[in-house]
Structure 1
Amino acid sequence: MRIAESVVNGRSNREIAGEMRVTQRTVEFHITNIYRKLGISRRVQLPDALTRLSERDSDPR
Structure 2
Amino acid sequence: MPATTPDQGRSSRTTNKRCAECVRLREQARAAVLTADRSRLSDVRVLERRHRDEAHGPQECAA
TM-score category by the smaller chain?
Answer: 0.3 to 0.5
- Structure-1-length-normalised TM-score: 0.38
Bigger proportion of residues as helix:
1
Bigger proportion of residues as strand:
2
- Structure-2-length-normalised TM-score: 0.37
